[in-house]
Amino acid sequence: MHVHILGICGTFMGGIALLARANGHKVTGQDTNVYPPMSTQLEEQGIKLIQGYDLGDLAKLCPDVVVIGNALSRGNEAVEYVLENGINYTSGAQWLAENVLHNRWVLAVAGTHGKTTTSSMLAWILEYAGLKPGFLIGGVPENFGLSARNGDLPFFVVEADEYDTAFFDKRSKFVHYHPRTLILNNLEFDHADIFDDLNAIKKQFHHLVRTVPRNGLIIYPSNSDSINDVLAMGCWSSTEKYSNTDTSEGWSYQIKQGSDSAVKYDGSSFNVYFNNKLQGMLIWELQGLHNIDNAMVAIAAARHAGVPVKYSLEALSQFKNVKRRMETKGVINGVTVYDDFAHHPTAIATTIDGLRRKVGEQQRIIAILEPRSNTMKMEIHNTTLPASLEQADDVYIYFADNNSSHFSDVISALGNKGHAYESIDTMLADILSSTKSGDHLLVMSNGAFAGIHQKLLDGLVG
């Protein structure tokens, strides 16, 4: 079968392409945003990519089915061509459910933050335990080098996104997945382009909870009011709590401040507890409280799949993180450049906090941000964004759409540390002129950011 994917370079749709190819289908795709790492791994797998949505290309291909990404809407020329010519079409989530997830033990990771990293941790734990899971993750885990694979039966790990499925299916993608093990990481307001308010998102999460069988397991943080609200709407499955404060029931951890402690304040080592009983210590390459949160729920989910905690700790001690999650792009003349996907105030705050805990108070953190998400562009986060950047020493914000005036309140609230730009070259020159050895340049965007990472490294050489 010839599967053609519209919007193929999105992290989710790129994963669908890899799975379809692994299932023996001919796979092609089109997109307007073709950039690494997704474009690279697709091309490495021999999948033909077409830049743009030219109808001539689509007409020549004559696919058996077109999988349409949720970034495409009515009015898109390729979408209109599919509809007008009666070509068989489906959504990525529906294709996944019907062709891959059927009769699998699905372990789904949902939440506003941490889905990609947690899914990667969970898949790696199962891999380390010899279970050879399938997975579809919204990023490229460095332990695997691919964002998706079929794996062996029965286990399949999926990053469960709450964004809508397609222009013809406005349910959240995750309602298609029917997990037996469900992680609810956290829940905040996001995706203001499709959700009116937090209650609308809670309703979709409740629909997800409704799909978990009675013999399934839901793992969640006990201190999340939003998730507690979701579960109060109805829950028919077993649950396990995770807490960073209460050790009496469920999962918890311990860190300490001070150089003499074996468990570290930056999260690079911590003790794991279940029902107040010590399960072991994890010493690993990652840091930050948010990554401890991710690890704890991944350990809990793996235990539900039959993996003893000691093997999860061994696996995570070898975990290499995910591309674009605090990924070190290079160190030039004592200056470190990082790439991170953070694009929500909470994620921005936790990312900076993790780096601050690692480098201490004496070294400078320069935050370089592109507010690119639809919710950011709608100014929904203007009131909370300044506080999320508080631990940075300087903040450079690039506005690709020349809309810096819409964020004047953010820049004002940041005071002397805030700098706004509509020219990436001007911003780049200012950053390089003020950077000194020992600085940490933390680039945060959910897009390509005009290749600024390499431009910074090239400029630091000069």
193 pLDDT more than 90: no
- pLDDT, the chain, mean: 91
Predicted confidence (pLDDT) per residue in 241-258, tens digit: 998 776 778 999 988 766
The secondary structure of residue 100, as a DSSP letter, is I
The pair of structure tokens assigned to 456 is 């910074």
Task: Say if strands 269-274 and 277-283 run parallel, antiparallel, or are unpaired.
Answer: antiparallel
Q: Could you give all domains of the chain from N- to C-terminal order, each with its CATH number?
A: 2-90 (3.40.50.720), 103-316 (3.40.1190.10), 327-461 (3.90.190.20)
137 pLDDT more than 70: yes
Predicted confidence (pLDDT) per residue in 45-73, tens digit: 889 899 899 888 888 899 999 999 999 99
Q: What is the mean pLDDT of residues 196-220?
A: 96
Q: How far apart are CA 414 and CA 392, in angstroms?
A: 10
Instruction: Determine the 3-state secondary structure of 92 from DSSP.
Output: helix
Predicted confidence (pLDDT) per residue in 324-354, tens digit: 788 889 999 999 999 988 878 888 998 998 8
Q: How far apart are CA 57 and CA 54, in angstroms?
A: 6
Please give the C-alpha separations between residue 142 and each of 23, 50, 116, 147, 207, in angstroms, as whole numbers. 23, 26, 12, 9, 32
Dmax (CA) of the chain = 70
Query: Which of 28-32, 195-199, 304-308 has the weakest average pLDDT?
Result: 195-199
Are 58 and 52 contacting, i.e. CB atoms less than 8 angstroms apart? no
More confident residue, 53 or 374: 53
CA-closest candidate to residue 88, choices 24, 4, 7 = 4
Q: How far apart are CA 58 and CA 170, in angstroms?
A: 25
Q: What is the mean pLDDT of residues 342-371?
A: 89
pTM: 0.82
Highest mean pLDDT among 38-47, 129-138, 247-256, 267-276: 129-138
Q: What is the mean pLDDT of residues 101-119?
A: 94
Please give the C-alpha separations between residue 209 and each of 273, 365, 391, 418, in angstroms, as whole numbers. 26, 40, 36, 42
11 pLDDT more than 60: yes
